Structure 1
Amino acid sequence: MSSVLTDLCRYPIVQAPMAGGASCPQLAAAVSEAGGLGFLAAGYKTVDGMYQEVKQIRGLTSRPFGVNLFMPQPRTADSAAIEVYRQQLAGEVSWYETPLGDPDSGRDDGYEAKLAILRDDPVPVVSFTFGCPSRAVLESFAKAGTVTVVTVTTPEEAQIAQSAGADVLCVQGVEAGGHQGTYRDDFATDQSGIGLLTLIALVRETVELPLVATGGLMRGSQIAAALAAGADATQLGTAFLVCPESGAHPLHKRAMTNPLFVRTELTRAFTGRPARGLVNRFMREHGPYAPAAYPQVHYLTTGLRKAAAKTGDAQGMALWAGQGHRLARELPAAQLVEVLADELDAASVNYAQEESR
């Protein structure tokens, strides 16, 4: 690992910041305590909600941890398309007996206020998704002693982030569960995602920053492959989602290995932005009609998803999952970190033996 990352964690294992509840203080603290780097997800939380979680994790571990922020999105969504989709969801409203939400209720996710909190009371790492912060923002965190990580999905985005002054890049392959962190959200790019190993190589040829690779990684041997391809560390989300410390809904956890859910797809059905999840009824019925309108569609469907979870209906939930979801292991987070580290060591020995032949 680069020196920037070795100061943060013993193993090249980062727990992905999964917005929506999975990345709670208990999970992040357990990962950090075990030698990985735990992350809190500030997305969709209030400013005070984020602050309280930071306080909580500080009470659970003295090890470094990170906080992830969502970048504000441009006001480019077509209001007419959102209204058409609202009508498309009328049957869901009746089925779950729950009204649709206000699509304009959280446009910037409290971005500026969250920045202020994290600058006034610095945390070890802050990462950004759905775009690149300004140079001034990144410089302000550098002055506070905070390492900054910017998510990228193409070599072009990597160049933008390096030019802006990011310390580390999180290179996200198309295999990743949850939202794709693309900078441009339009239909033309929905099917143009790059596989992780290829993306690592492309980005490594483009920039000189440390790289954290993420996308479908579930085993130590895959971590070894990503490191061999040029990454300095790896980030895993789905692998940690099923841990007992995870705040994910029990239905979501069980779905990872439920034979009823055989594959994942990228969809706009739940949030208006491409995100990878297990294919279920809601995705099949509404994915083809969902507009490019994030975060408006997210807030429109929030109540429906909560109602589905409350009634035990996984077919109406956003079951975010990476392509490797069937490899999920229901282990305590600390044990999972140790298992992954052991698998990585074994795979690294095999690589070294093969190279020496």
Structure 2
Amino acid sequence: MWDNKVTELLSIEYPIIQAPMAGGVTTPELVASVSNAGGLGMVGAGYMEPDQLRSQIKAIKKLTDRPFGVNLFIPSNFQISKLDFELAFNSLQPFRDELNIKEEIPVLPDSKEDHVKFPQLLNVIIREKVPVCSFTFGIPSEDDISMLKSEGVILIGTATSVNEAVMNENAGMDIVVGQGSEAGGHRGTFSENGENNLIGTLSLIPQLTERISIPVVAAGGIMNGKGVIASLCLGAKGVQMGTAFLTSKESGAHKVYKEAVIQASDSDTVLTRAFSGKWARGIKNQFIKEIEESQTPIPDYPVQNKLTSQIRKVSASRNESRFMSLWSGQSPGLAKEKTVKELIRDIVSQAEEIKASL
């Protein structure tokens, strides 16, 4: 039941992709463990520098000889005046005071930085012969796609609507991840407003499979074998799971973060721009609540992400979940603290049992 176009393209045993969660969650141990268990481990390299990515890839290769991939953020263009930047920085001062953070106003961000770094990251992927590369927040240029394909790299795009999926197929992506609104972390939306474009996985996947010919991978709220079977029945050729792997023992997520997800209920997640400036789903905490109540304008990504960086880091170091970004999908009640091997074994076993009973 597991042999299909996705397993064939990615050279994996099960069509299960570990979502590329940036920010330290996707440790070499997590990525390698997923690949060793028959799925596809993914490095969340959205915030990495080229040297960091190179080091992580080398560490993964020491732990597995199976395929794995790297996810990159498509660079965005943004503008913010010095005055607005200072106002945004000052609006976060109450949080710094509560955490006793002494921080000078950082240098005004420049969108050119990410545009310079992106080709450097692509170069690392090619030089290190990483077999799979996925993208979030947009689609690479025609030249970048041609370059990667000439090196034999399998390309995976992200879509939160039919329109975005069609754009990915037309651009030459090999696979598209259909990200439903249930998904934890950042919305991959790039052609529309991330807050308004909230199509659930159950509705999104059948529409994608009707409109595009390349394989579709379902993402959003999938935590176990039931979700896998449901996704396959909807026409998907595989699944991408984030929250399920976030609480695994190999995950690099902070222990307080893991505990928050495991203890959360189905109604505890919200969509917010509070931490990064992009719409993302996570567990509502004091930071989100106070930002919403203040009604202070939030600058776009990556400006807000930079301004909240110290607050999040210090919060984590002090085990203060009140001010941490606790990204999670809408099914935290199904999260388990297992090893990756146990998790994938249980997912596959449950899916096969369901398939046999149909």
What residue in structure 2 maps to residue 198 of structure 1? 203
- Aligned equivalents of 1:79, 1:196: Cα separation in 2: 40
How high is the TM-score relative to the length of structure 2?
0.92
- In the TM superposition, 1:214-229 aligns within 5 A as 214-229=219-234
The two structures have a TM-score, normalised by structure 1, of 0.93
Q: 8 Å contact 1:19–1:42 — kept in the other structure?
A: yes
Whether the 8 Å contact between 1:167 and 1:210 is mirrored in structure 2 is yes
For the 8 Å contact 2:265–2:332, the answer to whether it is kept is no
Aligned counterpart in structure 2 of residue 63 of structure 1, from 66, 76, 80? 66
3-state SS of paired residue (1:150): strand
Per-residue CA distance 1:189-227 (angstroms, 9 max, x = gap)? 413310012111111122111111111111111110011
Q: Deviations over 1:108-134 (max 9, x none)?
A: 172110011112232110000000112
Sequence identity percentage = 37
The residue aligned with 1:235 is 240
The one-letter code of the counterpart of 1:54 is I
Please name the residue that 1:305 is paired with: 312
Q: Is the 8 A contact 2:5 2:237 kept in 1?
A: no
* SS state at 1:5 partner: helix
- Using the alignment, how far apart are the partners of 2:183 and 2:352 within structure 1? 24
Give the drift of 1:291. 2.3
Contact 1:14–1:236 (CA under 8 A) maintained in structure 2: yes
The 1:29/1:92 distance shift into structure 2, 3 A limit, reads same
Structure 2 equivalent of residue 277 of structure 1: 282
How many Å separate the matches in 1 of 2:297 and 2:183? Answer: 20
1:89 has 2:92 as partner: yes
1:8 CA displacement: 2.3
Following TM superposition, the consecutive aligned residue runs of length 4 or more in structure 1 with deviations greater than 4 angstroms are 76-82, 100-103, 259-262
Q: What amino acid is the match of 2:54?
A: Y
Q: Distance in 2 between matches of 1:281 and 1:261?
A: 18
- Following superposition, the deviation at residue 263 of structure 1 comes to 0.7
Query: 1:204-353 alignment to 2 at 5 Å?
Result: 204-258=209-263, 263-287=268-292, 288-350=295-357, 353=358
Q: Confirm whether residue 5 of structure 1 aligns to residue 12 of structure 2.
A: no
AA at the equivalent of 1:313: E
Residue 50 of structure 1 corresponds to which residue in structure 2?
53
Q: Structure 1 residues 82, 173: CA separation in 2 closer, same or farther (over 3 Å shift)?
A: farther
Structure 1 unaligned spans of 5+? none
**Distance in 1, Cα, partners of 2:297 & 2:64:** 41
Q: Quick one: structure 1 residues 341 and 246, their matched pair in 2 at CA, closer, same or farther if it must change by over 3 Å?
A: same
Distance 1:101 1:327, change over 3 A: farther
Q: Which has the higher contact order (CA 8 A, sep 6+)?
A: 1
Distance in 1 (CA, whole Å) between partners of 2:7 and 2:82 is 43
Q: For residue 178 of structure 1, report the CA deviation from its aligned partner.
A: 0.4
| Root-mean-square deviation over aligned CA pairs | 1.9
Equivalent residue letter for 1:214:
A
String of CA shifts for 1:65-118, please: whole Å, max 9, x gaps: 010001100225566554433222110121122226545177517211001111
- Measured at CA, do residues 104 and 164 of structure 1 come closer, stay the same or move farther in structure 2, by a change above 3 Å? same
More deviation in 92-101 or 228-237? 92-101
Q: Which amino acid in structure 2 is aligned with residue 237 of structure 1?
A: G
Return the letter of the residue paired with 2:236. Answer: A
Equivalent residue letter for 1:152: A
Once residues 85 and 260 of structure 1 are traced to their aligned partners in structure 2, the CA distance between those partners, rounded to angstroms, is 32
Aligned length: 349
Note if contact 2:267-2:330 (Cα within 8 Å) is conserved in structure 1. no
Partner SS for 1:131: coil
Q: Secondary structure at the match of 2:315?
A: helix
Helix, strand or coil: the match of 1:246?
coil
Change (3 A) 1:3 1:328: same
CA shift in 2, pair 1:13/1:260, >3 Å: closer
CA distance in 2, matches of 1:124, 1:228: 28
